[in-house]
Amino acid sequence: MSEDLCQSIEGAMVTLVLALPSNDQADILADWMGAEQVRYPDLSEAFEVWCFRTKSAKRRLVEGLDGAGNATVSL
């Protein structure tokens, strides 16, 4: 298989993973990281985006709850 084709397939897989709900993304990425061969497919881009989105969502949740006067949140 050519390198360009492999990169296209990886890109499509990253796009597909990122289109799923966050919990499904977490399951797929956890399985991917637990695999012995993490090199292919390379889902590191999907992992980075998932981490960013998760941190942003947590920050928005905490800020929203702080604004509502309910600062005792544990995530």
Indicate whether 52 belongs to any domain. Answer: yes
pLDDT for 47: 92
Q: What is the pLDDT of residues 3-53, one digit of tens each?
A: 899 899 999 999 999 999 999 999 999 998 888 766 778 899 999 999 999
As a whole number of angstroms, the distance between CA 49 and CA 54 comes to 8
Residue 32 counted as domain residue: yes
Q: At residue 47, what are phi and psi to the nearest 5 degrees?
A: -65, -45
Q: Is residue 24 part of a domain?
A: yes
Is 75 a domain residue? no
| Reported pTM | 0.69
Residue 73 within any structural domain of the chain: no
Domain region containing 41:
3-67
d(CA 24, CA 31): 11
72 falls within a domain: no
Indicate whether 74 belongs to any domain. no
